[in-house]
Structure 1
Amino acid sequence: MRKLVLENISKVYGEGDGKVTALDRVSLEVQAGEFIGVVGPSGSGKSTFLSVAGALLSPSSGTILLNGQDITKLSSKELTKVRLKQIGFVFQSSNLVPYLNVRDQLLFVSRLAGSIEKEAEQRAQELLSSLDMVSRQFNYPNQLSGGQRQRVAIARAFMNNPQLILADEPTASLDSKHGRAVAEMLAREVRERGKAAIMVTHDDRVLDLCDRIVTIRDGKLYE
Structure 2
Amino acid sequence: MGDKLLFENISKIYGEGDNMVTALDDISLAVRAGEFVAIAGPSGSGKSTFLSIAGALLSPSKGRILLDEKDITSLPSKELTRVRLEKIGFIFQAANLVPYLTVREQLLLLSELTGKRDKKAVIKADDLLSHLGLEHRADHLPEALSGGERQRVAIGRSLMNDPEIILADEPTASLDSKRGRDVVEMLVHEVKARNKAAIMVTHDERMLDLCDRVIHIIDGKIFTNGDTEKRANLQ
Same fold (TM over 0.5): yes
Return the offset for 1:68. 0.8
* Distance apart, 1:110 and its partner CA: 1.1
Give the ranges of 4+ consecutive aligned residues of structure 1 lying more than 4 Å apart after TM superposition.
Answer: none
Tell me which residue corresponds to 2:132.
Answer: 131
Shift of 1:114: 2.1
Give the Cα–Cα distance (whole angstroms) in 2 for the partners of residues 217 and 69 of structure 1: 28
Which letter does structure 1 place at the counterpart of 2:54? Answer: A
TM-superposed deviation, 1:12: 0.6
CA RMSD for the aligned pairs?
Answer: 0.8
3-state secondary structure, aligned to 1:178: helix
Quote the residue 2:90 is aligned against.
89
Q: Aligned-pair distance for 1:44?
A: 0.3
Note the C-alpha offset of 1:116: 4.6
2:198 & 2:12 partners in 1: Cα distance? 21
Percent of pairs identical after alignment? Answer: 65
Measured against aligned partners, the alpha-carbon deviations of 1:2-26 in whole angstroms (never above 9, x if no partner) come to 1110001111110000001110111
- Aligned mates of 1:8, 1:163 — CA distance in 2: 22
Contact 2:90–2:167 (CA under 8 A) maintained in structure 1 = yes
Q: 2:3: which partner in 1?
A: 2
Q: Which runs of 5+ in 1 are unaligned?
A: none
1:185 is aligned to 186
- Where 2:123 maps in the other structure, the secondary structure is helix
The equivalences for 1:90-169 within 5 A come to 90-169=91-170
Partner of 1:217: 218
1:207 corresponding residue in structure 2 = 208
2:31 is matched with 30
- Residue 82 of structure 1: CA displacement? 0.4
Equivalent-residue separation in structure 1 for 2:48 and 2:136 (angstroms) = 34
* 2:81 is aligned with 1:80: yes
Distance in 2 (alpha carbons) for counterparts of 1:31 and 1:54: 16
Taking the aligned partners of 1:94 and 1:130, their CA distance within structure 2 comes to: 18
1:197 aligned partner: 198
Query: What do the CA deviations read for 1:23-68 (whole angstroms, capped 9, x no partner)?
Result: 0111100011000011111110001100101101111111000011
Deviation at 1:174, TM superposition (A): 0.3
TM-score, L = length of structure 2? 0.93
Structure 2 letter corresponding to 1:20:
V
How many Å separate the matches in 2 of 1:205 and 1:5?
27
Higher mean Cα deviation, 52-61 or 114-123? Answer: 114-123
Shift of 1:118: 1.1
2:230 corresponds to which residue? none
What is the distance in 2 between the residues matched to 1:58 and 1:186? 27
Q: Distance in 2 between matches of 1:163 and 1:155?
A: 14
Counterpart amino acid of residue 88 in structure 1? G
Unmatched segments (≥5 aa) in structure 2: 225-235
In the other structure, the counterpart of 2:63 is 62
CA distance, structure 1, for counterparts of residue 172 and residue 221 of structure 2: 24
What is the DSSP-based 3-state SS (H/G/I as helix, E as strand, rest coil) of the residue aligned with 2:53?
A: helix
Asked whether the 8 Å contact 2:6–2:65 carries over to 1, the reply is yes
- Distance in 1 (CA, whole Å) between partners of 2:28 and 2:154 is 29
What amino acid does structure 2 have at the position aligned with 1:16? G
1:17 alignment counterpart: 18
